[in-house]
């Protein structure tokens, strides 16, 4: 094994973490800023609000389309009734 392989093997060898590593990591996680959680919550709420708004607009558009269809169908039905009255049936 040449010197480079030895250096790589040594660098990649499994090593136990230093004493207290777990406690330091947990302490750092507990110190994370609360504004980060608040910002994440606000972003989620904005996303939900936008999705609700889009769904509401789609519902309004569907309602308008149904009303247009009803007016067209009603107009055609009136013409048929008028035609039937005119033929004496």
Mind listing the pLDDT tens digit for each residue in 8-32?
A: 888 889 889 899 999 998 888 888 7
pLDDT of residue 34: 83
CA distance 37 to 20: 27
pLDDT for the residue 89: 60
Q: What is the pLDDT of residue 75?
A: 95
Whole-number Å distance between alpha carbons of 23 and 34: 20
DSSP 32: S
Distance CA 30, CA 38 (A): 15
Q: How many Å apart are CA 30 and CA 21, to the nearest integer?
A: 14
What is the number of alpha carbons within 13 Å of residue 9 lying toward its C-beta?
6
pTM: 0.47
Instruction: Give mean pLDDT in consecutive 10-residue pieces for the chain, a chain of 89 residues.
Output: 87 90 88 84 94 95 96 95 83
């Amino acid at each position: 094994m040449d010197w480079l392989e030895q250096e790589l093997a040594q660098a990649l060898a499994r090593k136990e973490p230093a004493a207290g590593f777990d406690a330091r990591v947990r302490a750092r996680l507990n110190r994370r800023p609360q504004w980060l959680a608040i910002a994440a919550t606000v972003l989620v709420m904005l996303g939900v609000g936008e999705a609700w708004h889009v769904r509401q607009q789609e519902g309004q558009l569907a309602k308008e389309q149904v009303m247009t269809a009803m007016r067209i169908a009603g107009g055609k039905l009136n013409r048929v009734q008028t035609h039937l009255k005119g033929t004496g049936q």
